[in-house]
C-alpha cells in the first residue's frame, strides 16, 4: 500500500514540474498585466530547441540554454505585439502557440528527417536523476526510508529547481522592489507611470522572466522527463498551467499546490486506467483529464471562491490619451 502511494506521489512530482515552471512563468507575466495564452507555444518551442541543442552539442545544459533562448525570443515577440504595438494579447498568444506548433515540426523534419522528432537522446545528454546523500543507507528505515529514498531523492535537477523556484518567486514578487513595481503595473499602470516607473520596461522584464521559466518547462519535457522532442509534446500543459494559475489566484505557493494537485490527477489517471474502484466502478480516464479544466471553469464561475486577476491584465497601457 505504502509502495503504491509512494509510486503515485513520485510520479505526481514528475508530472507537476513542467506545470509548475509554466505556472510561475504565467504568474510573472500576468502580475505585470500581460495575459499569456502563449505559454503552451513557449514550452513547445523550448522543448524542441532543448532537445535539438542537447543532441547536437551532446550536453543537457546547452539544451536547457537553447530552450531558454528560444522561449525568450517567443516571449519577446509576444512582448513586442502586446506592449509596444498594444495589440490584442490573446490573439498574439494564439499566434505564438501556432508558430511553435508549426515551426518545431517543420524545422525538426528539415533538420533531422525523423518525422518532426529529434533523435533520441542518450542518458549522458539528458538530466539524470540525482540520488540525494544517504538515500541508500536510509532506504531500509521503515516508512521514512522509502519516502526519503524513493520520493524525495532520485529526481533530476530540474524537478528540484522547479520547487526551489516557488519560494524564490514568492520572495521576488512580494519582498523586492522589482516585485512591488511589477504588481503595481499589473494593478494600476497609470499610477505606476505617475510614480515614475516605466510600464513598458517592467512589462518587458516580466515577459522575459516568463520566457525563461517556460524554457525550463520545455527543456524538462524533452531532455529530463523525455529523451528527445516529439510533435506536440507539450500536449496542453501550457493551458493546464494557465488553469492552475487561475486556481492559485496568481500566488506562488498556491501555484505549487495547484500544480501538485493537477499532477496528482494526472498520475492517478495513469494509475487507475482500466482499474475498478470499489463502489464506483471503472472511472473513464477522460474524467481525470477533464477535471482540471472543469475545476477551473467552476472556480471562475465563483462557485468555489472568487478568482480575481490583476486588474490591468489584458489591457494595453497607453501612456497619454490624446
Partner 1 sequence: MSKGQLPRWVDYGLLPALNLIAAFIVSGLVVVVIGEDPFEAVKWLVYGALGYGEGIGYTLYYATNFIFTGLAVAVAFHAGLFNIGGEGQAYVGGLGIALVCLAMDRFVPWWITFPFAIAGGALFGAAWAFIPAYLQAKRGSHIVITTIMFNFIASALMVYLLSNVLIPQGTMSPSSRNFEAGGQLPLLRNVFTSFDFGQSPVNLAFFLALAVCVVVWLLIWHTKLGYEIRSFGKNPDAASYAGISPVRITVVTMLISGALAGLMGINVVMGEQTRLLLDFAGGAGFVGIAVALMGRGHPIGIILASMLFGLLYQGGAELAFEIPTISRDMIVVIQALVILFAGALEHMFRPAVVAFFDRFSSNTAEA
Q: Is 76 in the site for partner 1 (CB under 8 A)?
A: no
By CB under 8 A, name the one of 168, 294, 304, 315 that touches partner 1: 294
CB of 292 to partner 1, least distance (A): 8
Q: Which is nearer to partner 1, 38 or 228 (CB)?
A: 38
Task: Check binding of 247 to partner 1 (CB under 8 A).
Answer: no
Binding partner 1 (rule: CB under 8 A), the pick from 180, 191, 297, 318 is 297
**Cell numbers for 281:** 466502478
H/E run at residue 247 = helix 237-247
Query: To which H or E segment does residue 282 belong?
Result: strand 281-282
Distances (CA, A) of 162 to 23, 102, 133, 218, 242: 10, 28, 20, 12, 16
- The residue range among 11-19, 136-144, 167-175, 281-289 that interacts with partner 1, by the rule CB under 8 A, is 281-289
Residue from 286, 305, 320, 321 that binds partner 1 (CB under 8 A)?
286
> Nearer to partner 1 by C-beta: 107 or 157?
107
- 96 binds partner 1 per the rule CB under 8 A: yes
Q: Which of residues 113-142 bind partner 1 (CB under 8 A)?
A: 113, 116
Q: Of the ranges 87-95, 138-146, 174-182, 209-217, which one interacts with partner 1 (CB under 8 A)? A: 87-95
Q: Burial code of 115-153, b = ≥16 C-beta within 10 A, e = fewer?
A: ebbbbebeeebbbeeeeeeebeebeeeeeebbbbbbbeb
Name the nearest CA neighbour of 234 among 244, 225, 245, 247. Answer: 225
Closest CA to 220 of 48, 66, 47, 59: 47
Using the contact rule CB under 8 A, the part of the chain among 101-109, 118-126, 189-197, 209-217 near partner 1 is 101-109
Q: Is 317 left (phi over 0), alpha (psi -120 to 50) or beta?
A: beta
Residues 28-47 that bind partner 1 (CB under 8 A): 35, 37
Is 239 among the residues that bind partner 1 (CB under 8 A)?
yes
Q: Is 276 helix (H, G, I), strand (E, B) or coil?
A: strand
- 3-state secondary structure at position 281: strand
Which residue number, 141 or 287, has a Cβ lying nearer to partner 1? Answer: 287
Exactly one of 287, 304, 315, 318 binds partner 1 (CB under 8 A); that residue is 287
The helix (run of H) or strand (run of E) holding residue 277 is: strand 276-277
Helix ranges, 58-188 (H): 60-79, 89-112, 135-138, 144-146, 157-175, 177-187
In the complex with partner 1, the residue whose CB is nearer, 4 or 275, is 275
The separation between CA 177 and the C-alpha centre of its own chain, rounded to angstroms, equals 25
Q: Cβ closer to partner 1: 110 or 143?
A: 110
Looking at 20, 52, 219, 246, which residue binds partner 1 (CB under 8 A)?
Answer: 246
DSSP annotation of 272: H
Q: Does 242 bind partner 1 (CB under 8 A)?
A: yes
> Is 301 among the residues that bind partner 1 (CB under 8 A)?
yes
- Closest approach of Cβ 312 to partner 1, in Å? 14
Nearer to partner 1, 201 or 308 (CB): 308
d(CA 16, CA 250): 17
User: In the numeric block, which cell numbers belong to residue 33?
Assistant: 498585466
Q: How far is the CB of 225 from partner 1 (least distance, A)?
A: 21
By CB under 8 A, name the binding residues for partner 1. Answer: 35, 37, 77, 80-82, 85-92, 94-99, 101-103, 105-107, 109-110, 113, 116, 236, 239, 242-243, 246, 284, 286-287, 289-290, 293-294, 296-297, 300-302, 307, 309
Amino acid at each position: 500500500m505504502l509502495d503504491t502511494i509512494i509510486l503515485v506521489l513520485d510520479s505526481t512530482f514528475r508530472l507537476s514540474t513542467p506545470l509548475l515552471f509554466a505556472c510561475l512563468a504565467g504568474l510573472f507575466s500576468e502580475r505585470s498585466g500581460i495575459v499569456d495564452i502563449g505559454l503552451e507555444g513557449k514550452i513547445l518551442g523550448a522543448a524542441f530547441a532543448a532537445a535539438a541543442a542537447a543532441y547536437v552539442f551532446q550536453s543537457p545544459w546547452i539544451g536547457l540554454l537553447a530552450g531558454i533562448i528560444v522561449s525568450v525570443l517567443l516571449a519577446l515577440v509576444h512582448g513586442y505585439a502586446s506592449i509596444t504595438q498594444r495589440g490584442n494579447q490573446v490573439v498574439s498568444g494564439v499566434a505564438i502557440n501556432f508558430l511553435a506548433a508549426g515551426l518545431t515540426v517543420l524545422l525538426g523534419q528539415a533538420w533531422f528527417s525523423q518525422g518532426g522528432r529529434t533523435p533520441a537522446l542518450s542518458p549522458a545528454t539528458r538530466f539524470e536523476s540525482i540520488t540525494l546523500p544517504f538515500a541508500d543507507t536510509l532506504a531500509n528505515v521503515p516508512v521514512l526510508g522509502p519516502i526519503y529514498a524513493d520520493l524525495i531523492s532520485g529526481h533530476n535537477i530540474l524537478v528540484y529547481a522547479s520547487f526551489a523556484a516557488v519560494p524564490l518567486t514568492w520572495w521576488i514578487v512580494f519582498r523586492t522592489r522589482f516585485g512591488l513595481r511589477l504588481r503595481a503595473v499589473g494593478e494600476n499602470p497609470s499610477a505606476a507611470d505617475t510614480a515614475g516607473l516605466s510600464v513598458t520596461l517592467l512589462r518587458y522584464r516580466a515577459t522575459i522572466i516568463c520566457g525563461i521559466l517556460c524554457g525550463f518547462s520545455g527543456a524538462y519535457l524533452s531532455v529530463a522527463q523525455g529523451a528527445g522532442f516529439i510533435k506536440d509534446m507539450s500536449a496542453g500543459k501550457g493551458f493546464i498551467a494557465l488553469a492552475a494559475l487561475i486556481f492559485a489566484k496568481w500566488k506562488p505557493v498556491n501555484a505549487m499546490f495547484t500544480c501538485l494537485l493537477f499532477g496528482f490527477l494526472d498520475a492517478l489517471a495513469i494509475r487507475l486506467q482500466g482499474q475498478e474502484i470499489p463502489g464506483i466502478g471503472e472511472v473513464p480516464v477522460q474524467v481525470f483529464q477533464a477535471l482540471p479544466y472543469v475545476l477551473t471553469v467552476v472556480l471562475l464561475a465563483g462557485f468555489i471562491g472568487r478568482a480575481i486577476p490583476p486588474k490591468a491584465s489584458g489591457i494595453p497601457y497607453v501612456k497619454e490619451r490624446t
